[in-house]
Amino acid sequence: MYILHYCIQESDFIFNEKITKEKKDEILSKYEMKIIGEIKEYWENNIRVRAYNNTLYFDNIKDKEIIYNKKEKLLIQEFSKEKIIPYSFYHMDSEEEYILYEKNDGNMIFQLKDYSDYITFQCICEKKKDINFQKIYI
Protein backbone atom coordinates (compact mmCIF):
# COMPACT_ATOMS: atom_id res chain seq x y z
CA MET A 1 0.00 0.00 0.00
CA TYR A 2 0.96 3.63 -0.41
CA ILE A 3 0.11 6.81 1.45
CA LEU A 4 1.04 10.10 -0.17
CA HIS A 5 1.30 12.78 2.52
CA TYR A 6 1.15 16.38 1.33
CA CYS A 7 3.98 18.17 3.20
CA ILE A 8 6.85 20.62 3.05
CA GLN A 9 10.38 19.41 3.68
CA GLU A 10 11.96 21.57 6.39
CA SER A 11 15.28 19.71 6.68
CA ASP A 12 16.75 16.33 5.74
CA PHE A 13 14.46 14.33 8.03
CA ILE A 14 11.77 16.83 9.08
CA PHE A 15 8.55 17.23 7.09
CA ASN A 16 5.67 19.54 7.98
CA GLU A 17 2.27 18.26 6.85
CA LYS A 18 0.21 20.92 8.63
CA ILE A 19 -2.08 22.96 6.38
CA THR A 20 -3.89 26.05 7.65
CA LYS A 21 -7.60 25.65 8.43
CA GLU A 22 -8.39 28.35 5.84
CA LYS A 23 -7.79 25.76 3.06
CA LYS A 24 -10.26 23.23 4.50
CA ASP A 25 -13.41 24.22 2.58
CA GLU A 26 -11.48 24.60 -0.66
CA ILE A 27 -9.98 21.09 -0.40
CA LEU A 28 -13.28 19.50 0.69
CA SER A 29 -15.03 21.10 -2.27
CA LYS A 30 -12.28 20.31 -4.79
CA TYR A 31 -12.32 16.60 -3.91
CA GLU A 32 -16.04 16.39 -3.04
CA MET A 33 -15.20 14.78 0.30
CA LYS A 34 -17.80 13.53 2.74
CA ILE A 35 -17.45 13.45 6.51
CA ILE A 36 -16.60 10.02 7.92
CA GLY A 37 -16.57 11.02 11.58
CA GLU A 38 -14.43 11.54 14.63
CA ILE A 39 -11.37 9.29 14.86
CA LYS A 40 -9.02 8.66 17.74
CA GLU A 41 -5.72 7.18 16.69
CA TYR A 42 -3.13 5.65 19.00
CA TRP A 43 0.35 4.37 18.15
CA GLU A 44 2.63 1.99 20.01
CA ASN A 45 5.79 1.41 17.95
CA ASN A 46 4.37 0.15 14.64
CA ILE A 47 0.93 -0.81 16.01
CA ARG A 48 -1.89 1.57 15.10
CA VAL A 49 -5.13 1.49 17.04
CA ARG A 50 -8.02 3.46 15.56
CA ALA A 51 -11.20 4.15 17.49
CA TYR A 52 -14.22 4.86 15.30
CA ASN A 53 -17.93 4.39 16.06
CA ASN A 54 -17.18 2.76 19.42
CA THR A 55 -15.03 0.08 17.76
CA LEU A 56 -11.26 -0.40 18.02
CA TYR A 57 -9.28 -1.46 14.93
CA PHE A 58 -5.75 -2.84 15.42
CA ASP A 59 -3.19 -2.87 12.60
CA ASN A 60 0.49 -3.67 12.37
CA ILE A 61 2.03 -1.11 10.00
CA LYS A 62 5.45 -1.95 8.50
CA ASP A 63 7.21 0.67 6.41
CA LYS A 64 8.93 -0.63 3.30
CA GLU A 65 10.18 2.62 1.77
CA ILE A 66 9.66 6.33 2.29
CA ILE A 67 10.73 8.88 -0.31
CA TYR A 68 10.03 12.58 -0.77
CA ASN A 69 8.92 13.96 -4.12
CA LYS A 70 10.04 17.59 -3.87
CA LYS A 71 8.28 18.69 -7.07
CA GLU A 72 4.88 17.39 -5.93
CA LYS A 73 5.49 18.13 -2.20
CA LEU A 74 4.52 14.55 -1.34
CA LEU A 75 6.08 12.15 1.12
CA ILE A 76 5.41 8.74 -0.41
CA GLN A 77 5.17 5.98 2.17
CA GLU A 78 5.12 2.38 0.97
CA PHE A 79 4.00 0.01 3.71
CA SER A 80 2.26 -3.23 4.53
CA LYS A 81 -0.73 -3.43 6.84
CA GLU A 82 -1.91 -6.46 8.74
CA LYS A 83 -4.89 -6.70 11.09
CA ILE A 84 -3.85 -8.01 14.48
CA ILE A 85 -5.64 -9.45 17.48
CA PRO A 86 -6.95 -6.68 19.77
CA TYR A 87 -5.27 -6.27 23.12
CA SER A 88 -5.64 -4.07 26.20
CA PHE A 89 -3.46 -0.99 26.19
CA TYR A 90 -2.76 1.75 28.65
CA HIS A 91 0.31 3.73 27.65
CA MET A 92 0.79 4.54 23.98
CA ASP A 93 3.60 6.40 22.19
CA SER A 94 1.20 8.89 20.62
CA GLU A 95 -2.47 9.78 20.59
CA GLU A 96 -4.34 12.06 18.21
CA GLU A 97 -7.93 13.00 17.56
CA TYR A 98 -9.36 14.38 14.34
CA ILE A 99 -12.43 14.53 12.12
CA LEU A 100 -11.93 12.49 8.97
CA TYR A 101 -13.27 13.49 5.55
CA GLU A 102 -12.86 11.16 2.60
CA LYS A 103 -13.48 10.59 -1.10
CA ASN A 104 -12.94 7.24 -2.81
CA ASP A 105 -12.06 7.90 -6.43
CA GLY A 106 -11.68 4.33 -7.65
CA ASN A 107 -7.96 3.60 -7.32
CA MET A 108 -7.21 6.43 -4.88
CA ILE A 109 -8.73 7.47 -1.56
CA PHE A 110 -8.35 11.16 -0.69
CA GLN A 111 -8.42 12.05 3.01
CA LEU A 112 -8.52 15.29 4.94
CA LYS A 113 -7.89 15.09 8.68
CA ASP A 114 -9.25 18.06 10.62
CA TYR A 115 -7.35 18.59 13.88
CA SER A 116 -8.09 21.38 16.36
CA ASP A 117 -5.51 23.84 14.94
CA TYR A 118 -4.71 22.59 11.43
CA ILE A 119 -5.61 20.06 8.72
CA THR A 120 -3.64 17.43 6.80
CA PHE A 121 -4.21 15.94 3.36
CA GLN A 122 -3.22 12.51 2.11
CA CYS A 123 -4.00 9.99 -0.60
CA ILE A 124 -4.05 6.22 -0.25
CA CYS A 125 -3.72 3.62 -2.98
CA GLU A 126 -3.02 -0.10 -3.13
CA LYS A 127 -0.49 -0.20 -5.97
CA LYS A 128 2.28 2.08 -7.19
CA LYS A 129 0.77 2.11 -10.68
CA ASP A 130 -2.39 3.70 -9.20
CA ILE A 131 -0.53 6.85 -8.09
CA ASN A 132 -1.77 9.72 -10.24
CA PHE A 133 0.00 13.01 -9.47
CA GLN A 134 -2.42 14.91 -11.74
CA LYS A 135 -5.25 14.18 -9.30
CA ILE A 136 -3.28 15.41 -6.29
CA TYR A 137 -3.05 19.18 -5.93
CA ILE A 138 -3.50 21.58 -3.06
Condensed to tens digits (0 to 9), the pLDDT of residues 78-121 reads 999 999 999 999 889 999 999 999 999 989 999 999 999 999 99
Between 12 and 33, the more confident residue is 33
- pLDDT > 90? residue 132: no
Q: What angle do CA 111, 90, 112 make, to 5 degrees?
A: 10
pLDDT classification of 133: cutoffs 50, 70, 90: confident
Q: What is the pTM of this model?
A: 0.93
Query: Please, where are the H alpha helices in 9-102?
Result: 24-31
pLDDT at 93: 95
Question: CATH top-level class for 2-135?
Answer: mainly beta
- Cα gap 59→39, rounded to integer Å: 15
- 69-73: long-range pairs with CB below 8 Å, 24+: 69/133, 70/9, 72/133, 72/136, 73/6, 73/7, 73/8, 73/138
Task: Delimit the domains of the chain by residue range.
Answer: 2-135
Mean pLDDT of 9-19: 95
What mean pLDDT, rounded, does the chain reach? 95
